[in-house]
Structure 1
Amino acid sequence: MKEEIWIEKYRPVRLEQVIGQDEAIERLKSYVATKNLPHLLFSGPPGVGKTASAVSIAREIFGEALWRENFTELNASDERGIDVVRTKIKNFAKTAPIGGAGFKIIFLDEADALTPDAQSALRRTMERFSSNCRFILSCNYSSKIIEPIQSRCAVYRFRRLSDEAIKKRLEYIAKDQVLSITEDGYEALIYVAQGDMRKAVNSLQAAAFIDPEKPISRETIYRTTSTANPEDIISLVETALLGNFRAARKELNRLLYEEGLSGEDIIGQIYRAISSMDNRIVLDLGLSEKRIVELVDIIGEIDFRLTEGASEKIQLEALLAHFVLSNAD
């Protein structure tokens, strides 16, 4: 039997199944009820329900028999030039709807990847074919969409999913798949996901295949997602802030070489540990707000250097050295 990818198996097919976006979904349902639709712009981080909402709208407006004929999906990150607007989008937009539908829907995913020229051409296409075609644009950053397109769309901002919403969906999947997950396993999945349901479900499926006979614990989650245990990151930062550079560097080397983590993964988790105001780094060490601001500033600088291609080991050791020196003042 062929195993199905869980993110597809458990993808919402109706608006009411999209979780964590109650306000946006309630407003979108009103369009479905009237069988009428303006151009839409969905903005927000990945894995929060933008694509699922677009497909669900098409399914509910056109019905299961006709939605595929009246709906097309393009990913702008694959074809981001002006030619895709002049050919694929324009050719689909100018044909008549099928089966007596009032209009067709073009869903353009990752629209913020379109070049400025392509967006200008898209604006004109939206104007010319609005009588028989509606556009749904999805993007991570609405600021990268030109103003003339934004002004022609009803903008919906999708937020990161709450921990409660993610856990509720994971519990449903675990029950359906007959999985046993410990409470700290759920906490680890939520930590790894960072508000991204797709990442949470992928992580759960990967962990489920490690040892089907044992409950899924946080160790399993961290091992399969190449994520450091948050406690190890907190310990690393605490050790450096307490002035023990050698011990902190030893722990850093373990994370880099034994755990196989990348420098960007570690810097991201260090930032999360520092910025969480209720964790023990802040509480036990009594860090002032000014000190936290200074630490976040240097983390940002090191992250930029890593992005530019600097040595991971040298830059992360420089970060630890700064932590040590900042506490010695």
Structure 2
Amino acid sequence: MAGTAMQLDEESDLPWVEKYRPNSLSDLVAHEAIISTITRFVEEKKLPHLLFYGPPGTGKTSTILAVAKQMYGKYFSSMALELNASDDRGINVVRDQIKAFASTQQIISKGVKLVILDEADSMTNAAQFALRRIIEKYTKTTRFCLIGNYVSKIIPALQSRCTRFRFMPLPYDVAATRIREISVCEGLNLTDDGLNALLDLGQGDMRKNLNILQSTSMAFKVIDSDAVYSCTGNPNPRLIDRLCEILLSMNFTEIYAEFNEDRITLGFALSDIIREIHKNMIKIDFPEKMKIFLIKRMSEIEMRLSSGASEKVQLGSLIGAFVEARALQF
């Protein structure tokens, strides 16, 4: 009983991303076609080399870990080697660690071993070319799963040796269902507008959703949209709506004073405000040419900000773009 209590305490201390990570293929949500294909590979014991790619937080690592746990059970630690290639990405890791694991024979458990290379798109080209030869040499005893965000950074020679699966961002309804389940498990007071704010900030990244949910729950008893935006430091959509109204109604001096006061008081970066205003541009009923004019000017301002330009000067440029657009005939 003491051991069980200790285990529960350890689980409660885990980040929710790890605490609620799926343990089997049946626990995974979304990507039904990918999951059904991989499940068939596992059941028929015909698992090929795999390449998972797509945006972060979409279930790539969770999927292969669930596969490994289903295949090996209690022998997981001896039959699977998990490496994060963003840390261990040199050619020596391929020659020493991966080769040593792939070449050793397992007496206790039968079947192929599994090497999981997370963030494989961070590996050097020399390491990738060395890995190509290792995959060929030990293909009878070992399967490799490469995971990365950008498939273009994986050399074609490795891509051709793997069955590729692209993981899309999680649909909002799937992410919403999972967030609600976790909220119930944790006893959270999550409102509908709070859930919508989480989904808007997460953009299909489940890891980001859970991290925001956990951090907000520690700071606020009620998780609503104000709490979510306040905890993450993102501008509230209501503020952006008000700023858009100001941009379209006041003169330059009044807009500059209002904008500067809000920016300083609330502590938002101008780049954050531009990003949120850009989202609103689609909703506002502007003439098409006016939208094109403003988006082009905003992109130039964002580029100058990323190059280290003064926020005060670029704020004036942003306001000037809207005042100029209002005066032009489209």
Whether TM exceeds 0.5 here: the answer is yes
**Larger helix proportion, structure 1 or 2?**
2
Distance 2:115 2:258 in 1: 51
Residue 25 of structure 1 pairs with residue 56 of structure 2: no
| Cα distance, 1:231 vs structure 2 | 2.4
Residue 52 of structure 1 pairs with residue 62 of structure 2: yes
Which residue of structure 2 aligns with residue 260 of structure 1? Answer: 267
Q: 1:251 to 1:314 in 2, by over 3 A?
A: same
| Cα distance, 1:268 vs structure 2 | 3.0
Structure 2 contact 220–227 (Cα < 8 Å) conserved? no
Secondary structure in structure 1 of the residue aligned to 2:295: helix
Which residue of structure 2 aligns with residue 192 of structure 1? Answer: 201
Q: For 2:224, which of 217, 220, 224 is the aligned residue?
A: 217
Structure 1 contact 11–52 (Cα < 8 Å) conserved? yes
Secondary structure in structure 2 of the residue aligned to 1:106: strand
Which residue of structure 1 aligns with residue 139 of structure 2? Answer: 130
Greater CA radius of gyration, 1 or 2?
2
The answer to which of 163-172 and 252-261 deviates more is: 252-261
Structure 2, unpaired ranges of 5+: 1-8
Aligned-pair RMSD on alpha carbons? 2.2
Which residue of structure 2 aligns with residue 323 of structure 1? Answer: 322
1:6-64: CA deviations, max 9, x gaps? 1111111112222222221121111121122111111111111011001011011112x
| Cα distance, 1:304 vs structure 2 | 3.1
Q: Which residue identity is paired with 2:41? A: Y
Which residue of structure 1 aligns with residue 6 of structure 2? Answer: none
Percent of aligned positions that are identical = 40
Q: 1:179 to 1:241 in 2, by over 3 A?
A: same
Q: 1:153 to 1:218 in 2, by over 3 A?
A: same
Distance 1:247 1:124 in 2: 66
Structure 1, unpaired ranges of 5+: none
| Cα distance, 1:147 vs structure 2 | 1.0
Which residue of structure 2 aligns with residue 249 of structure 1? Answer: 256
Q: Which residue identity is paired with 1:219? A: D
Number of residues of Structure 1 aligned to a counterpart in Structure 2: 318
Q: Which residue identity is paired with 2:224? A: S
Secondary structure in structure 2 of the residue aligned to 1:119: helix
| Cα distance, 1:323 vs structure 2 | 3.0
Structure 1 contact 161–195 (Cα < 8 Å) conserved? yes
Which residue of structure 2 aligns with residue 303 of structure 1? Answer: 302
Structure 1 contact 189–200 (Cα < 8 Å) conserved? yes
Residue 146 of structure 1 pairs with residue 155 of structure 2: yes
Q: 1:95 to 1:5 in 2, by over 3 A?
A: same
Which residue of structure 2 aligns with residue 115 of structure 1? Answer: 124
TM-score, length of structure 2 as denominator length: 0.88
Q: 1:41 to 1:327 in 2, by over 3 A?
A: farther
Which residue of structure 1 aligns with residue 247 of structure 2? Answer: 240
| Cα distance, 1:135 vs structure 2 | 1.1
The answer to which of 76-85 and 303-312 deviates more is: 303-312
Distance 1:61 1:195 in 2: 28
Which residue of structure 2 aligns with residue 16 of structure 1? Answer: 26
TM-score, length of structure 1 as denominator length: 0.88
Which residue of structure 2 aligns with residue 164 of structure 1? Answer: 173
| Cα distance, 1:287 vs structure 2 | 1.7
Distance 1:101 1:296 in 2: 59
